[in-house]
Amino acid sequence: MMQLVYEILNSSIFKASGIYTLSSIINATIPFLLLPLLTRYLSPEEYGIVSMYTLLLSITSVFMGLSVHGAINRAYFDEKINDHKEYVWNSLIILFISSSFTFLLYNLLANYISKFTGVPISWIWTVVLVSFFQFVINCLLAIYQAQLLAFKYSKIQIGQSLVNALLTILFVIILLLGWKGRLLAQILSVLFFGIMAFFILYKHYTEKKINLYYIKHALKFGVPLIPHTIGGMLMTLADRFIINNLLGLEKVGIYMVGLQLGMVLAVITESFNKAYAPWLFEKLNQNNEDIKRKIVVFTYIYFFCIIFLACLLFFILKILFPIFVGEKFLKAEKVILWILLGNAFNGMYFMVVNYIFYTYKSHILAFVTFIVGLMNVPITFLFVKFYEEVGAAQSFMIVNMLMFLFTWILSAKVYPMNWRRGFVYVFRK
């Protein structure tokens, strides 16, 4: 078995993770490093307002542009799309129309949204503005990714996070603006890069012609992704809504600090998957049974290692916890183990979901995501009702475990990999 592990560890999977992986790690590290400062200059309730604003932003982004930025990337490789610049322009038309409807809806429902989320009513309109310009940024990033311009992609991604962090230090720590300073930093950083991205798109990547075929093509790609995205949001975001409405903003703030610390494992697993997925597809193309057996054995080893790593990180974070967070947030320590275990199951999910993507069966994955997302709501509600923020973390682990198991069963059906024999082989060796 050691020879097998050595062979895989020395393969291209660990030698060519590339700029995207490094960019993702740096991008995730910047807000992580802000945590010790924010938990000392913001109260749990203020941190809760910031968290709910970010949550509302995530929900708005689902409907802003109707996910057609993904179509821009895909259309770049579609032989039926004769003019990619014209396609980008028509995707932006979809953005303008959908954002107008969203802005109108948010103004009509501002009182209800504010009451449900805890975000002050005077800040609701900024959510649409930020979502609009973030979509523009995502369009430019999609083009850079399609053209393999990884360095430009990374400059935008890291630059936005860095400006956000520097403005946060200015507004929250120097000017002492509290939660308003944190939101201002987020808004201004998106506006700066969003306006810049719009001018780059307008000048270099658009052809100003209306094409109904391209509009239909982009919508056909983006709209079916909405149920999948909603299911994913029900899995990952419902906990904050439930905590806010049952326990209040202060508990949301405490829970979010623990969630953010526990996400350190998610950064590791997501970065690993960016390198692992193309390597796996390349190996599956060879259709070699011996290679498939080795992949199965390696997957089981990965499962054991990721659980061990979650436990190890828990003990490390437990020691470092008083350094990372302020005294008002020390209760967040209780949720970290469950969050880490939840992210461990999410890392295991990545190892099996790639078979579904390989067989182009992603549409059935949307069904699983939506069902598990719906299950998450009553599970989280009951656990929060009885165990407060710790219950939310426990439901996070349970739902990620269910998502992993259901996806594993589904992947085994669409692409058989002889998981039973592989399991026996691991223990026999």
What pLDDT was estimated at residue 264? Answer: 83
Where in the chain are the domains? 1-19+224-429, 42-220
Q: How far apart are CA 340 and CA 346, in angstroms?
A: 10
Cα–Cα dist 309/262, whole Å: 12
The whole-number pLDDT of residue 188 equals 97
Cα 390 to Cα 384: distance, rounded to the nearest angstrom: 7
The pLDDT, as a whole number, for residue 225 is 66
CB proximity list for 406: less than 8 A, separation 6 or greater: 368, 371, 372
- pLDDT tens over the chain, length 429 residues: 455 445 544 544 444 345 666 777 777 777 778 888 888 899 999 988 998 898 888 888 877 777 676 677 666 666 667 777 888 898 888 888 888 888 999 989 999 889 888 889 999 999 999 999 998 998 888 888 777 677 788 889 889 999 999 999 999 999 999 999 999 999 999 999 999 999 999 988 888 888 888 888 788 777 766 776 777 777 777 888 899 888 888 888 889 888 888 888 888 888 788 777 777 877 888 888 888 888 888 899 999 999 999 999 999 988 888 887 888 888 888 999 999 999 999 999 999 988 887 776 767 777 888 888 889 889 999 999 999 899 999 999 999 999 999 999 999 898 888 887 655 555 555
The distance of Cα 16 from the centroid of its chain, to the nearest Å, equals: 23
Burial 89-113 (b: 16+ CB within 10 A, else e): bbbbbbbeebbeebbeebeeebeeb
Distance CA 357, CA 355 (A): 5
The Cα-based distances of 264 to 28, 271, 292, 304, 309 in angstroms read 8, 11, 30, 18, 11
Secondary structure class of 242 (helix, strand, coil): helix
Task: Say if residues 46 and 253 touch (Cβ distance below 8 Å).
Answer: yes
Residue 13: predicted pLDDT: 45
Contacts of 281 (CB under 8 A, 6+ apart): 354, 358
Residue 209: its pLDDT value, please? 87
- CA–CA separation, 342 and 355 (whole Å): 21
Token pair 């082989």 is found at 425
In this prediction, residue 6 carries a pLDDT of 52
Query: CA-to-CA distance for 298 and 280, rounded, in angstroms?
Result: 11
